[in-house]
Structure 1
Amino acid sequence: MPRPARSALALAGLLAAAGTAHFLVPRPFDSIVPRALPGSPRTWTRASGVAELALAAGLAVPGTRRASARATAFFFVAVLPGNVKMAYDWRHRSTAAKAVAYGRVPLQLPLVLWAGHAARAED
């Protein structure tokens, strides 16, 4: 297993890429925003993109890494309903599309564990 500091930087890269994607190609993210949330899906897409970029920045800085890693774990739990909605909405799509949608749900657990590992990085 990589050292926590290196792991935190890799996770920061993942979050930075995902956060950027929320602004460059927002439509796929809009489509998985649960309808129960108030406001427009685009607002939630932008807010989650900002959150991912902020978490990435926090993970990249040693002094904020531990707190940011814990916040990242919370974020991964918080977006789980969107992934569940995507899996449900995509249940009638192609086998490949369903595999992507269904795979996102259990992927949240290793992401939470990855954030926990990054939280052990030395400041």
Structure 2
Amino acid sequence: MHGRSWPQHIIRWLLGLALIGAGTGHLTVLRDEFQAQVPPWLPLDVDLVVVGSGVAEITLGVALLVTPWRIAAGWATALFFLAIFPGNIAQFTEARDGFGLDTDLARGVRLLFQPLLVAWALWSTGAWSWWRERRQERRRAPRARSASMER
């Protein structure tokens, strides 16, 4: 696998630090703001969701910064961003304010950033490259086996 570039390292570090900051906010001064993002149809205690997602964000942020398993951290972070996306959609469709997102335009623009966060998590950790390389290897393997059988 190819080494990661310095822009990838920078994005990974920024993403990790942002997750640690957001997770800390979940557990402290931004708790009420994050509660506004929990969809009312979710059958869980709102505070439990906020605390749990805060702990998850801190854990993922630390993993992005220090774990030797960066590819796994990248996939886990991308999956986390996908898991919380319905809450962001609900905030938009239900016109719930939070974090200064008090217009449909502001909430809609925020939705556009979620796929970017997923892409950053996968690109900055090398997870996307890893997946593409494994896919190419699987495609080559049947051809190599059939070629050796023909000999």
TM-score normalised by the chain length of structure 2: 0.70
Residue identity opposite 1:46 in structure 2:
V
Number of aligned positions between the proteins: 118
1:50 counterpart = 2:34: no
Gaps of 5+ in 2: 128-151
The CA RMSD over aligned residues, in Å, is 2.1
Is structure 2 residue 124 aligned with structure 1 residue 118? yes
What percentage of aligned pairs have identical amino acids? 32
- Change in CA separation of 1:91 and 1:29 when aligned onto 2, cut-off 3 Å: closer
- In the alignment, the residues of structure 2 paired with residue 63 and residue 91 of structure 1 have an alpha-carbon distance, to the nearest angstrom, of 39
1:100 aligns with 2:99: no
CA shift for structure 1 position 82: 0.7
SS at match of 1:97: coil
Q: How far apart, CA to CA, are the structure 2 residues paired with 1:91 and 1:40?
A: 18
Q: Which structure has the greater CA radius of gyration?
A: 2
CA distance in 2, matches of 1:6, 1:91: 33
In the TM superposition, what are the counterparts of 1:1-123 in structure 2 within 5 Å?
A: 2-24=6-28, 25-90=30-95, 97-98=102-103, 99-120=105-126
> SS state of the match for residue 3, structure 1?
helix
Of structures 1 and 2, the one scoring higher in RCO (CA 8 A, sep 6+) is 1
Secondary structure at 2:102's aligned position in 1?
helix
Structure 1 range deviating more: 22-31 or 48-57: 22-31
CA-to-aligned-CA distance 1:16-75 (integer Å, 9 cap, x gap): 111111112211111221223222111000000000000001000140222111111111
CA distance in 1, matches of 2:44, 2:118: 27
The runs of 5 or more residues in structure 1 that have no matched partner are none
